[in-house]
């Protein structure tokens, strides 16, 4: 499977192939494919679908298709998940929309 660099939305063909669909993930959820990684920009599982393994399945689907994942600046619940499943906290320098270079927290699979 090949992906063009850019946004991956729950309504896109790429999103559907990865299992990132609007029936599970909330409005406004999106990922980016950039520099060979799928970045989890904003992932929200719909309230009625929570605690049923959907995030774990999404990660597995993406990795099974040969892609690596980066999760920048996760919120506390996501951090707990990442720690539980042995992801590693790293720091990367990114260019902001204003052109500045700043360090951000990025979690990757160990």
What tokens appear for 63 in the block? 């990795």
Over the chain, what is the mean pLDDT? Answer: 93
Prediction pTM value: 0.88
Tell me what pLDDT residue 23 has: 94
> What gap in Å lies between CA 6 and CA 38, rounded to an integer?
10
What's the pLDDT band for 9 if we cut at 50, 70, 90? very high
Residue 30, SS3 per DSSP = strand
Adjacent-strand bridge partners of 106:
72, 90
Which domains are delineated in the chain? Answer: 6-109 (3.40.630)
Q: What is the mean pLDDT of residues 81-104?
A: 93
Do 45 and 24 contact (CB within 8 A), yes or no?
yes
Do 18 and 10 contact (CB within 8 A), yes or no?
no
> What gap in Å lies between CA 70 and CA 41, rounded to an integer?
9
What tokens appear for 59 in the block? 């990660």
Tell me what pLDDT residue 78 has: 92
Q: Is the pLDDT of residue 110 over 80?
A: no
* Sheet containing 30-34, strands listed edge to edge, beginning at the edge strand earlier in sequence: 6-9, 30-34, 37-42, 68-72, 101-109, 87-95
Structure confidence by residue, pLDDT tens digits, 14-51: 999 999 999 999 989 999 999 899 999 999 999 888 88
Tell me what pLDDT residue 63 has: 96
Q: Is the pLDDT of residue 1 over 90?
A: no
């Amino acid at each position: 499977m090949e992906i063009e660099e850019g946004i991956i939305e729950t309504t896109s063909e790429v999103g559907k192939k990865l299992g990132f669909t609007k029936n599970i993930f909330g409005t406004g959820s999106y990922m980016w494919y950039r520099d060979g990684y799928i970045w989890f920009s904003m992932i929200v599982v719909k309230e009625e679908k929570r605690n049923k393994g959907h995030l774990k399945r999404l990660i597995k689907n993406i990795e099974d298709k040969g892609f690596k994942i980066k999760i920048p600046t996760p919120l506390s619940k996501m951090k707990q998940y990442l720690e539980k499943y042995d992801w590693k906290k790293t720091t990367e320098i990114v260019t902001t929309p204003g052109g500045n270079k700043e360090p951000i927290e990025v979690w990757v699979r160990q």
